[in-house]
Amino acid sequence: MRKRFSLAVLIFLAIFIVGAIYFLRAEYKNISQNIKDTLLKHHVMSVEELTGKFLKQLSIEDLENRLRNDNGLRKKLNEFITLLSGSKYRHIFVVTKRKDFFTILLDGSDETFAEPFEPLDKKSWDLVYKTGKPLLIKENVKGVWYTYLKPILYKNKTVAMMSIDFSVKESLLINDILGKFYQAFVNFQTLGLFLLATVLVLVYLDRKRLIQLEKASEKIRKINENLEKRIREEIKKSREKDKQLLAQSRLAQMGEMINMIAHQWRQPLNAISSVTLELNLKAEMDIFTKEDVVFATKQTLELTNHLSKTIEDFRNFFKKNREKEEVFLDKIVDDVIRIVRHPLEIKGVKLEIIRKNPLKVKTFSSELKQVLLNLIKNSQDAFEERGVDKPLIQIEIVENKIVVKDNAGGIPSEIIDKIFDPYFSTKNKNGTGIGLYMSKIIVEKHCGGELTAGNWEKGAVFCIKLPKN
């Protein structure tokens, strides 16, 4: 079936090529004549355009006497004729008729005036003079030279006549090119038939190789199946690895959270202990009153409520989002700030929040909080490692972006392209190298946003950009 189809296509192509050559033979003469006619029409239009103003100055009843007496006009018109003769036209002159012969009034020079002139085709010249209609005369020089006769009228009466010779030699050049093009097609026809015979032989030989190719294709198909299987396995392993890294990252953050809880609980617990000891001391000394009990109870309740609120904040922080939720970006930032503000203040870190039209986005807010917490923790670690005097963390919420800046000196240019690589860390100790890697995965793969890093004049800057809702 395949062989029959190939042969049919090749035979059709051979017939098409031969038919195209015969069609070109039939159209060659028509194309050549059309080119010549088009060029001729173009030249005639050019002559009409160039001589328009010139002929208006010659539409005078007593033209011959005017040219005899007005040397300025005669000189001006001769200059125009000379200008035209220097381009693609030749033999340009103005004649008038006296009885049965013509005389030259203008020919581009000042020497000749009213010189008798006998044209070769006198009948055509007489016809133009009599009818007042222009005429194109073809000279017998390979059919490329023409004379254009233009009558000069005054009140619908011919007072003179302008003769301009021009050539359409371009048509010979174009026809010569077409002839070579046509000959190339004839040669192509012969070559096509030869190639057809060659291809038929190759198709016959190729059929023997078809079985081998099918066997090779089967081998390649099996190899591809095995390769796809291996790729799926590697992708599965990679996903499992990402899950493990995410779990490891969450455990590390939970450790940070426990440390923050300890900082936030220490002061209220100390206060509860102080109130209890004071109340116990007064009881032993038998000097406590009802007001002391009420005051101690009220203070204890306020402190325990504060501890309970702290637990609720941390519980909400690690709450998993099964689906994306619509939330304002500054709400996510505020939830994180409530947790980190106290530990940062203890270590002397100044925290600035700038809000510029924060938008509502649809995202995994819990995962985004982990990213923001990790960026703040990285800045805090950089302050401690580099001994910054007045540490500052600035968080800008601009529409659908969260920008985190610090003044810890920035990220060295030689490593800025590596900071999102897994297990890459610049910390002197306790650096896992998965924080920024997992942050990028959360923002870009989970939330569909973009996480970028750079420097500003005082330190590092990280930008979280999320899709607009």
Which helix (H) or strand (E) segment holds residue 363: the answer is strand 360-363
Q: How confident is the model at residue 450 (pLDDT cuts 50, 70, 90)?
A: very high
Q: What is the side-by-side strand order in the sheet with 392-398? A: 350-356, 392-398, 401-406, 460-465, 450-455
Q: What is the mean pLDDT of residues 115-140?
A: 82
**Higher per-residue confidence, 333 vs 72:** 333
* The pLDDT of residue 214 is above 70: yes
* The pLDDT of residue 142 is above 60: no
**Higher per-residue confidence, 35 vs 410:** 410
**Higher per-residue confidence, 87 vs 387:** 387
For residue 454, what are the CA distances in angstroms to 306, 414, 463?
39, 12, 9
Query: What is the pLDDT, as a whole number, of residue 6?
Result: 60
Q: How confident is the model at residue 215 (pLDDT cuts 50, 70, 90)?
A: confident
* The pLDDT of residue 72 is above 80: no
Quote the Cα angle for 85-89-90, to 5°. Answer: 65
Q: How far is CA 429 from the centre of its chain?
A: 47
**Higher per-residue confidence, 301 vs 333:** 333
* The pLDDT of residue 447 is above 80: yes
* The pLDDT of residue 188 is above 70: no
User: For residue 371, what are its two tokens?
Assistant: 């990213």
Query: What is the pLDDT, as a whole number, of residue 232?
Result: 81
Q: How confident is the model at residue 434 (pLDDT cuts 50, 70, 90)?
A: low
Query: What is the pLDDT, as a whole number, of residue 170?
Result: 63
Collect all residues with Cβ–Cβ distance below 8 Å to 367 and sequence separation of at least 6: 321, 442, 446, 447
pTM of the entire predicted model:
0.42
Q: What is the side-by-side strand order in the sheet with 115-117? A: 115-117, 101-106, 89-98, 157-167, 145-154, 135-138
In this structure, the number of other CB atoms found within 10 A of the CB of residue 284 comes to 8
Calculate what percentage of the chain has a pLDDT beyond 90. Answer: 12
What is the spatial distance between Cα 277 and Cα 270, in angstroms, rounded to a whole number? 10
* The pLDDT of residue 423 is above 90: no
Query: What is the pLDDT, as a whole number, of residue 425?
Result: 72
What is the spatial distance between Cα 355 and Cα 335, in angstroms, rounded to a whole number? 15
* The pLDDT of residue 355 is above 90: yes
Query: What is the pLDDT, as a whole number, of residue 269?
Result: 73
Give the closest residue to 339 by CA, choosing from 359, 366, 300, 363.
Answer: 366
**Higher per-residue confidence, 38 vs 140:** 38
* The pLDDT of residue 431 is above 60: no
Domains identified in the chain and CATH numbers: 321-465 (3.30.565.10)
Which range, 229-233, 239-243, 327-331, is most confident?
327-331
Q: What is the pLDDT of residues 46-61, one digit of tens each?
A: 767 666 666 666 667 6
Name the 3-class secondary structure at 351: strand
Query: What is the pLDDT, as a whole number, of residue 313?
Result: 57
* The pLDDT of residue 460 is above 90: yes
What is the spatial distance between Cα 91 and Cα 58, in angstroms, rounded to a whole number? 18
Query: What is the pLDDT, as a whole number, of residue 66?
Result: 76
Q: What is the mean pLDDT of residues 273-297?
A: 75
User: For residue 266, what are its two tokens?
Assistant: 């220490």
**Higher per-residue confidence, 258 vs 140:** 258
Q: How far from each other are the two terminal CA atoms of the chain, in whole angstroms?
A: 58
Q: What is the mean pLDDT of residues 369-380?
A: 87
- The b/e string for 29-43 (b: 16+ C-beta within 10 A; e otherwise) is eeebeebbeebbeeb
* The pLDDT of residue 89 is above 80: no
What is the spatial distance between Cα 59 and Cα 312, in angstroms, rounded to a whole number? 108
Which helix (H) or strand (E) segment holds residue 126: the answer is helix 122-131
Give the closest residue to 115 by CA, choosing from 101, 104, 124, 106.
Answer: 104
